[in-house]
Amino acid sequence: MKNVAIAGATGVVGTEFLKLLDARDFPIKNLKLLASARSAGKALEFRGEKIPVEELTPKSFCGVDLAFFTAGRERSREFVPHAVDAGAVVIDNSSAFRMDPEVPLVVPEINPQTAFDHKGTIANPNCSTIQMVVALNPLHKAATVKRVIVSTYQSTSGAGAKGMNELLNQTRAWANGESLDVSAFPAQIAFNLFPHVDIFLDNGYTKEEMKMVNETKKIMNAPEMAITATCVRVPVLRAHSEAVWIETEEKVTPEEARDIFNKAPGIIVRDEPENGGYPMPWDVDATFETYVGRIREDFSHPKGLAFWVVADQLNKGAALNSIQIAEILEAG
């Protein structure tokens, strides 16, 4: 039984942690909920008990064995060292430590053993990266993926509750003929999309796109893999979608790929497009697996394969993956 803390407990991912820790019967002795000062004093329900939210401070982690962080990069940079110094193992959902060579970056279906190499901190990858590598890894093991081109279609849940609320509020305002407030995103999201997730970098890519490039190489231990990404925000509440094209060293037919996906952990194949049998965000909402469909040979390249990947950003892309890491540690 663990003394567990959740930093960022009142956010949209924090509330998913509460649901999933309960649903998966994670062994918890005491649970501490931490958030900013403005949320302190609120109470959240967990296993039939109302637990008060405390302000996140450097002294919050005394007696804590395991801390889930989902409070953002800057909060993680500030408070994770205090948690580690207090003796807690931290599983951090931000980008703060992902590319630190001393910090394991873990997707349980791919590199579970690296979780035990931690020095107090384990990083949870970017949500878009997680679902892509869950699909890529079995193909890479079977035929060696040389190149990846991915375009993402990322839901508003990636920007937290404020992003989801902005889509709902703009949709209502549009229906009522009112002006649309734009604050959570760089442009109107209702009835629109834009290729702008996170900030732009000097190389012309966004930070989100480079996360997918660099994190994939680290998780899959594939430094030579050529990867390029375009990340797009779309007017969907929850669950990210990705169109993925790969080039492999050994040719993989669609039939072989389906068989590989069907045997891989954490993947559900939904690939009967004539009957609408392909993954969609609406259907994947609140599920745990990574869904793959539209599996087809790329006729423009002799060793090319294209497919479509959808997963719930708040579950597999965030809270679930973190809890799965904790379960690996718990199992020893």
Classified as helix, coil or strand, 273 is helix
Q: Of 82, 118, 127, 231, which one is the catalytic site residue?
A: 127
Q: Determine the 3-state secondary structure of 327 from DSSP.
A: helix
301: annotated active-site residue: no
Question: Using CA atoms, how far apart are residues 35 and 267, in angstroms rounded to an integer?
Answer: 34
Burial 94-109 (b: 16+ CB within 10 A, else e): bbbbbeeeebbbbbbb
Tell the burial category of 315 from Cβ atoms under 10 Å away from its Cβ (0-12, 13-18, 19+).
buried
Give 315's DSSP letter: I
Rounded Cα–Cα distance for residues 315 and 246 (Å)? 26
From 82, 118, 140, 240, active-site residue: 240
Question: Residue 62 catalytic?
Answer: no
* Cβ(153)–Cβ(235) below 8 Å: no
Distance CA 83, CA 76 (A): 10
Enumerate the active-site residues: 127, 240
